[in-house]
Chains A and B, each alone.
Chain A
C-alpha cells in the first residue's frame, strides 16, 4: 500500500517532535529526558535510513498532509538528496547527543538541552523533506527558535554577546526569505516547489524573476554564511557549549546550502542568471576569506568556525558550476562537512577539557596526555583539508574536474587554495597544541584531565569523537556508496521530473479525487 510507504516521510519529522514534546512535559528531569533523547534520535536515524532505502529502490516519494491534493495541499517529499541528508544529519546528531550527555553537567541538562536539541532536529529534518516553500521558511524558524535556546544555554557573558549578533542577523535573513517567498507567491500564486518549477518558467518576460532569485541568494546566503554576509558565524559559533557548537556547525549552514540547491535547481532551473554569475565569485570569496580568517585566529574554536564558512564556499561553488559532476561534488561535500565539522568542534571541546582552554598559544604537548584526541583531530582536520584517502578528498576531486570541464577556473583555484590554506592551519594547530614540547609558558594539564570528568564520561566522549573520525576515514577509503548516492542526487536535481511527479501523485483522500472542483480562488 503506497500510503503506508509514504508514512516513511513523516517519521523523521514526527519522531523528534513527539520526543521533544515528551521531554518538555518532563521538564526538570534530565535523566528521563536523556533517555528520551537517545531513543528519539536513534529512531529518527532508523526512520530516515528506511526512507532512504525506499527512495533508493522506488524513486522520489511524497505525501500531502491531510490528504489535500497537490498543489493546494502542503506536501512532504523526499528525493535522494533530501533523504540522504536526513540520514547524515540524524547519524551525526546521535554522536553529538552521546557526546553532549557526557560533556554537559546536570544543571545544563536541567536547563533543557535535550528538548531543544530534538526540536532542532525536527526543524532540520522538516527543512530537508518539505516540498512547500513557505513550509521551508517555517522549518527554518523552528530550527532558529530552538537554536536561540541552545545558544544561550549556560548564560556566560560571551555567549550573550554572540547570541545577540546571531539572533538579529539570522532573524533578518529569515525575514528576507519570507519577503522573497511573498513576492514569488504574488507572481505565481503557488507555494509548492514542484508547481513553482513549471510556473516560474512560464512567467512573462517582464516578471522580476532575477530580483527574486537574488533575494533568495541573499537570504539563504546569509543563513549559510556566504561572504560578505558571514559575520555572524565567526562571532557566535565559538561561544556556546561544545555540544551546541558541534550541532550548529554540522547542520545549520548545511540547511541553508540545501535550500539554495533546492531553490536554484527546482524553482529557478533556468532563471536567475545574475544570481548564478554572482554565486561563482561569492563562492570563491567565501572559500578564501574563510580560510584566511581561520589562519588569523588564535582560538581553536574560532579557527574551526572559519573553516566551516570556507566549506560553505566549496559547496556553493559546486552549485555555481551547476553541472552533474559539480553537483555530485557538492552533495558529497555536504555529507563530509556535516561529519567533519561536528568532529572538529567535539575535539575542540575535549581539548578544552584536557588543556583548560582553547587558545592555541596557551596549549602545548597535549599529545602526551591525550593521544586519542590528537589522532582524531588530525584525521578530521586532514579530511577537511582534502588529503587522500580521507572523505574530504573525493568531493574536491569532483569539483575540480567539474570546474575544469566547465571552464570555471576561479572556482578550481578557490577550492585548491582553500584546501592548501586549511592544510597549513591544521598542521599548525596540530604542531602547536599537540606536538610541541610543553615549556613553562604553556599549560600542560593533560595529566589531571580526569579531575572533573569520570572515566565513564571520557569513554563516551571518545567513542562519539572516534565514531565520527572513523566514519570520515571509512567514507574516504570506501567511497562507492556515498558517490553512488551523490550521483543519484545530482541526477535528480538536474532532472527533477520524478520529484515533481511524486508531489503531484502523492496519495490523496479518496473524497478529494475530483481535483477540478478544488480550483484555487484567485
Chain B
C-alpha cells in the first residue's frame, strides 16, 4: 500500500493497538475484556502493519511464525488447567497466589495464565490467516 499517510501513521497506530490489546487482556480479569477480544485487537495491529509495510516487514515484526505463537498459547492454556493437580483440585480450577509483598495483586493466577494462552492463540491464528490471505494476492 503506497500511501504516505498510512505509512506514517501505522507504526504509531499498531503500537498503540498492541498496547491497548494487552490492556484489554488484563482488564478482562475482573471487568469486560479478556484474552479473545484482546487477541483480536492484537492480531489486527499486525494485519494493519502488514497492509502498510508489506508482509515481510510484518513477519519480521512478529519475530516468530504466527503458528508457533498459537501453539505456545494453546500449551499455556492447557497447562493452566493442569496446574490445579498440585493442589488436589479438579481440572481447570483457578489457583491464586497472593504474595506477601503485594496482597492486593490479583494477577498471579492460573486464570490469567489461561487468558494469556487464549490471547496468544487468537493473535497467532488470526495473524496467520490474515498473512496467508494477503500473501495470495
* A and B, direct touch (CB closer than 8 Å): yes
A509 touches B74 (CB 8 A): no
Main secondary structure of the interface of A (DSSP, over half): helix
Cβ–Cβ contact B78 & A18, under 8 A: yes
Chain B residue at minimal CB-CB distance from A18: B78
A473 to B79, CA, bound (A): 40
Are A21's CB and B71's CB within 8 A? yes
CB nearest to B88 among chain A residues? A3
Chain A residues with CB under 8 Å of B70's CB are: 24-25
- Identify B78's interface contact among A6, A21, A508, CB under 8 A: A21
A36-64 contacts to B, CB under 8 A, are: 63-64
- Chain B residues within 8 Å of chain A by Cβ, number: 20
Bound-state Cα–Cα, A66 to B87, Å: 12
Q: Are B90 and A64 in contact (CB under 8 A)?
A: yes
* Interface assignment of A7: CB less than 8 Å from any CB of chain B: yes
In the complex the two chains form, is B75's CB within 8 Å of A25's CB?
Answer: yes
Asked if B81 contacts A14 (CB within 8 A), the reply is yes
Contact B92–A66 (Cβ < 8 Å)? yes
Distance A22 CA – B67 CA, assembled complex (angstroms): 11
Let me know if A26 and B93 touch, CB within 8 A: no
Query: Whole-angstrom distance between the alpha carbons of A28 and B93 in the complex?
Result: 34
The answer on a CB contact under 8 Å between B91 and A65 is yes
What A residues does B65 contact at CB under 8 A? 27-28
CB B121 to nearest CB in A, in angstroms, measures 9
Residues of chain A within 8 A (CB-CB) of B71 are: 21-27, 115
A22-B71, A27-B68 as given contacts; A67 in contact with B93, CB under 8 Å: yes
Is A18 a contact of B92 with CB atoms below 8 Å?
no
**Cβ B75 vs Cβ A67 within 8 A:** no
Inter-chain contact A67/B82, CB cutoff 8 Å = no
Nearest A residue to B91, CB-CB: A10
- A residues near B91, Cβ cutoff 8 Å: 7, 9-10, 14, 63, 65-66, 76
Contact B89 A14 (CB under 8 A): no
User: Bound state CA distance, A1 and B85, in angstroms?
Assistant: 12
Contact yes or no, A6 B74, CB < 8 A: no
User: Does A480 belong to the interface (CB within 8 Å)?
Assistant: no
User: With contacts defined as CB atoms under 8 Å apart, how many contacts are there between chain A and chain B in the complex?
Assistant: 73
Known contacts A7-B85, A14-B82, A18-B79; A24 and B74 CB within 8 A of each other = yes
Chain B residues lying within 8 Å of A23, measured Cβ to Cβ, are: 71
B94 is an interface residue with CB less than 8 A from chain A: yes
B residues 80-134 in Cβ contact with A at 8 Å:
81-82, 85, 88-94
Question: Chain B contacts of A67 at CB under 8 A?
Answer: 89-90, 93
How many A residues, CB 8 Å from partner? Answer: 30
The minimal Cβ–Cβ distance linking A12 to chain B, given in whole angstroms, is: 12
What's the least CB distance linking B116 to chain A, in Å?
14
- Chain B residues within an 8 Å CB radius of A9: 91
Question: Are the C-beta atoms of A66 and B79 separated by less than 8 Å?
Answer: no
Residues of A within 8 A of B79 (CB): 18
- Given that A25-B68, A25-B72 are contacting pairs, would A14 and B78 also be in contact in the complex, using a CB cutoff of 8 Å? yes
Most chain B Cβ neighbours within 10 Å, of A3, A9, A26: A3
Nearest residue, chain B, Cβ from A28: B65
In the complex, chain A residues whose CB is within 8 Å of the CB of B90: 3, 6, 63-67, 506-509
- Smallest Cβ-Cβ distance to A66: which chain B residue: B92
Q: Across the interface, which residues of B come within 8 angstroms of A506, CB to CB?
A: 90
Interface centre among A3, A24, A67, A507 (most CB of B within 10 A): A24
Q: Which residues of B contact A125 (CB under 8 A)?
A: none
**Least CB separation from A9: chain B residue:** B91
CA–CA, A21 and B70, complex, Å: 8
Identity of the chain B residue whose Cβ is nearest the Cβ of A75 in the assembled complex: B90
* Bound-state Cα–Cα, A63 to B91, Å: 8
B78 touches A17 (CB 8 A): yes
The residues of A that contact B75 with a CB separation of less than 8 Å are 18, 21-22, 25
CB of A502 to closest CB in B, whole Å: 14
Chain B residues with CB below 8 A from A509, complex form = 89-90, 93
> Given the complex of chains A and B, what is the CA–CA distance between A403 and B65 in angstroms?
58
Q: How far is the CA of A23 from the CA of B85 in the complex (A)?
A: 24
Interface residues of A in 64-92 (CB under 8 A from B): 64-67, 76
Q: Which residue of A lies closest to B111 (CB)?
A: A66
With contacts A14-B82, A25-B68 taken as known, whether A20 is within 8 angstroms of B93 at the C-beta atoms is: no
Tell yes or no: A207 within 8 A of B by CB.
no
Q: Is A4 on the interface with B (CB-CB < 8 A)?
A: yes
Do residues A17 and B88 form an inter-chain contact, with CB atoms below 8 A?
Answer: no
CB distance from A70 to the nearest CB of B (A): 11
8 A-B pairs within 8 Å (CB atoms) are namely A3-B89, A17-B74, A18-B82, A21-B78, A25-B68, A26-B68, A66-B91, A76-B91
Known: A14-B81, A23-B71; 14 extra A-B contacts, CB below 8 A, are A4-B85, A6-B90, A7-B85, A9-B91, A10-B82, A17-B78, A20-B74, A21-B75, A24-B74, A25-B68, A26-B68, A26-B71, A66-B90, A66-B91
Give 9 nearest A-B pairs by CB, closest first: A25-B71, A24-B71, A21-B74, A21-B75, A10-B91, A27-B67, A66-B92, A67-B93, A65-B92
